[in-house]
A and B are shown apart, each in its own frame.
Chain A
Amino acid sequence: MKIHEYQAKELFRAHDILVPDSEVARDPDHARRIAETLGSPVVIKAQVHAGGRGKGGGVQVVDSAAAAEQAARNILGMELVTEQTAGMGKTVNQVLVERAVAIDRELYCSLLVNRDTATITILVSSDGGMNIEEVAAATPERIVSVDVNPLLGLQGFQLRALAAVLALSGDTGKKFSAMMRRLYRFFVDYDCSMVEINPLVVTDQGELIAIDAKVDIDGNSLYRHPDVAAMRDPLEEDPHERKAAEFDLNYIKLSGNIGNMVNGAGLAMATMDIIKQAGAEPANFLDVGGGASAARVEQGFRIILDDPHVKGILINIFGGILRCDELARGVVQAATAVGLSVPVVVRMEGTNVEEGRRILADSGLNLINAEDIGDAARKVAEIA
């Protein structure tokens, strides 16, 4: 789960990781009052779940409270497009008003779960403030990483290796080690999947301060982090996806016009691929779960049909322990309840499939039976 920069900084503060003084504002007047308290200059930063905000015009440095109010007025409500928003704008509903820091050096630091080695990888670079993917591509030797075994924790030699590559020594080196230990502890205690500080700055006083904070927390762990669960921002989510989540459905909105409903995530991805191969574009990803009960199929129909671009639907279900005849009754019941407005191709395979197909055919509904995957693709192409 992604959280906002201001929320990540609240967590950092609580774990003694230094961040600049700041407060979040939802209207320009509030931004001005915060700036008056902090003293100029201040930085006004758009709070959206996407990186690259500076280039998109979502970050402004100003030198008076009046200018802070004007900058907040400009940024609040804007549709911020960055390299990470996939061409679409994200509405800015809040800004962080932060005291500007006198910077000596800008460093890069991130921690992430390494799925290949089952470790926590820490990456640092002296090239802070830059896009780290670009640094990795152009000068990979300027990034150094260590893999921390979660059973052992962060080791002293690893800290020394990181400090050495950042050329941090003496008092600042000690501060760096202490901060990294706290950051690692935070990462583990909060079930983070990614923490990125870019830039981590060294001030002219030799302090290390996190100027930016990006924190991603494992959604599976939220049951033990109610404080993080409360940080969820529904405005950052697609309204369809938000509604689907309420029904406990795994739904992702896409830009095509063929809706689809599948039991199981792998088969759902494969079904999207089939739609594409048929020359159409999938309107969504929807996994209704291995069981695919009538109630879930009905909820799935409602979510898919809520999307005005959908011209047709492909249902692809493999009936295993839940038999095809039961599934077919569920689909008919759901389709009747919803009142289908678009053609629906149903491809069903597995146990009792003949009986299932008969139930669909006798339903009198606009359900098009597909014999196999190839047939389903052809029939999808016809309705697209």
Chain B
Amino acid sequence: MTIFADDTTRVLVQGITGKEGQFHTRQCIAYGTTVVAGVTPGKGGQKMDEVPVFNSVKEAAGATGANASLIFVPPPFAAEAIVEAVDAGIELIVCITEGVPIMDMLRVKQFLAATSCRLIGPNCPGIISPGRCKIGIMPGHIHLPGGPFGVVSRSGTLTYEVVHQLTQQGLGQSTCVGIGGDPVNGTGFLDCLHAFNEDPETQAVVMVGEIGGSAEEEAAEWIAHHMDKPVIGFIAGLTAPPGRRMGHAGAIISGGSGTAEAKLAAMEQASIHVCRDLGGLGALCREVYDGAKLSR
């Protein structure tokens, strides 16, 4: 089992005819993802390689039975693209776009709250259930299918680093979710932890956070009371100066809150296995996983 996406997921790509859209659609198809349609307003009737392009999400979903959308639309139009996908009844929406105005995301987030749609991102690498489907821009081949690890992260390349270390340890992944680096996003740590806790293929979780906000602290609180599986935690940004945005729009220490130390302390309090040495993360996961197996 996996969370949120598997080999039955039928993907359409919004912004498929752009440079990024074309490149990553091809990468997803090469990985084995079922990409059934593309959407670019005004380019309906064309094809991107073998993928039919439609003028609207509604048309594309109606004709192809797509139930997931991957969005590469530029920032000024990204929020509208998400709303269009929701309106068309798409269940899983993955928005890669970086630079979406926060005010747009505030409205989208409130709008989504009244629906059953799941949004991942924006400003994220997407989601991959190794060996089954990849809806995103991550390098597929570094992953190892079949679990036992679930991965949830606010970062892109840092997640690849973590996945690579897991794979080198012979530890596969059920699903890896990049929730994105923006201050207001769709799916959060809590949603992923809930789902991983229920997923039989996932036996342990790596959670990669960074400075800014309090999502890691909330997740730690939930883990302490509800999580049945071991969690390994890492936080980036111990040396980040306060008041500066560290690349990601959401990575900022403001008014003394959102520090890496506070997040690590909350994780330790929740009996999360905290990793302070990124180079040793894979080995720590191996140790925790073997230990959990022995105690079972």
A interface with B by C-beta (< 8 Å): 84, 86, 113, 115-116, 118-120, 133, 149-151, 188, 191, 193, 218-221, 223-224, 250, 252, 254, 262-270, 272-277, 281-282, 285, 287, 290, 318, 320-321, 349-351, 372-374, 376-377
Docked Cα-Cα span, A373 to B277, in Å, equals 9
Residues from chain B with a CB closer than 8 A to the CB of A373 are: 277-279
Inter-chain contact B157/A320, CB cutoff 8 Å? yes
Inter-chain contact B109/A118, CB cutoff 8 Å? yes
Interface residues of B in 153-190 (CB under 8 A from A): 153-161, 164, 181, 183-184
Docked Cα-Cα span, A118 to B161, in Å, equals 30
- Known contacts A118-B110, A150-B103: A266-B241 contact under CB 8 Å: no
Residues from chain A with a CB closer than 8 A to the CB of B107 are: 150-151
Docked Cα-Cα span, A162 to B201, in Å, equals 51
Inter-chain contact B184/A115, CB cutoff 8 Å? yes
Residues from chain B with a CB closer than 8 A to the CB of A86 are: 241, 243
Q: Does B99 have its Cβ within 8 Å of any Cβ on chain A?
A: yes
Q: Does B46 have its Cβ within 8 Å of any Cβ on chain A?
A: no
Q: Does B236 have its Cβ within 8 Å of any Cβ on chain A?
A: yes
Closest Cβ of chain B: how far from A138's Cβ, in Å?
Answer: 15
Q: Does B90 have its Cβ within 8 Å of any Cβ on chain A?
A: no
Inter-chain contact A269/B211, CB cutoff 8 Å? yes
Name A's interface SS: mixed
Partner of A263, one of B103, B157, B236: B157
Inter-chain contact B139/A266, CB cutoff 8 Å? no
Q: Which partner residue on chain B sits nearest A320 by CB separation?
A: B139
Partner of B210, one of A191, A252, A266, A276: A266
New A-B contacts (20) at CB < 8 Å, excluding given A151-B107, A269-B251, A372-B279: A113-B103, A113-B184, A116-B213, A150-B103, A151-B111, A191-B102, A264-B155, A265-B155, A265-B247, A265-B251, A267-B158, A267-B236, A269-B211, A273-B237, A273-B238, A274-B278, A276-B239, A287-B247, A321-B137, A374-B279
Taken residue by residue from 254 to 294, chain B's Cβ proximity to chain A (1 for < 8 Å, 0 otherwise) reads as 01100010000000000000001111100000000000000
Inter-chain contact B279/A266, CB cutoff 8 Å? no
Residues from chain A with a CB closer than 8 A to the CB of B278 are: 270, 273-274, 373
Taken residue by residue from 121 to 138, chain B's Cβ proximity to chain A (1 for < 8 Å, 0 otherwise) reads as 000000000000000011
Inter-chain contact A268/B247, CB cutoff 8 Å? yes
- Known contacts A273-B239, A350-B142: A218-B103 contact under CB 8 Å: yes
Q: Which partner residue on chain B sits nearest A192 by CB separation?
A: B103
Docked Cα-Cα span, A276 to B238, in Å, equals 9
Inter-chain contact A254/B241, CB cutoff 8 Å? yes
Inter-chain contact A269/B246, CB cutoff 8 Å? yes
The 4 A-B pairs at the shortest CB distance, nearest first, are namely: A266-B155, A265-B247, A373-B279, A264-B157
- Counted as pairs of residues, one from A and one from B, with CB atoms less than 8 Å apart, the total is 171
Q: Which partner residue on chain B sits nearest A277 by CB separation?
A: B277
Residues from chain B with a CB closer than 8 A to the CB of A287 are: 247
Q: Which partner residue on chain A sits nearest B141 by CB separation?
A: A351
Inter-chain contact B159/A220, CB cutoff 8 Å? no
Inter-chain contact B161/A318, CB cutoff 8 Å? yes
Q: Does B227 have its Cβ within 8 Å of any Cβ on chain A?
A: no
Q: Does B76 have its Cβ within 8 Å of any Cβ on chain A?
A: yes
Q: Which partner residue on chain A sits nearest B76 by CB separation?
A: A223
Q: Does B240 have its Cβ within 8 Å of any Cβ on chain A?
A: yes
Q: Which partner residue on chain B sits nearest A221 by CB separation?
A: B101
Q: Which partner residue on chain B sits nearest A116 by CB separation?
A: B214
Inter-chain contact B279/A150, CB cutoff 8 Å? no
Residues from chain A with a CB closer than 8 A to the CB of B255 are: 133
- Known contacts A113-B184, A318-B157: A266-B208 contact under CB 8 Å: yes
Q: Does B249 have its Cβ within 8 Å of any Cβ on chain A?
A: yes
Docked Cα-Cα span, A265 to B258, in Å, equals 16
CB<8 Å pairs between A and B, sample of 16: A116-B215, A118-B106, A149-B110, A218-B101, A223-B75, A224-B101, A266-B210, A267-B161, A272-B237, A276-B238, A281-B239, A285-B244, A290-B137, A374-B279, A374-B280, A376-B279
Q: Does B22 have its Cβ within 8 Å of any Cβ on chain A?
A: no
Inter-chain contact B142/A351, CB cutoff 8 Å? yes
Residues from chain B with a CB closer than 8 A to the CB of A113 are: 102-103, 106, 183-184
Closest Cβ of chain B: how far from A364's Cβ, in Å?
Answer: 28
Docked Cα-Cα span, A357 to B109, in Å, equals 45
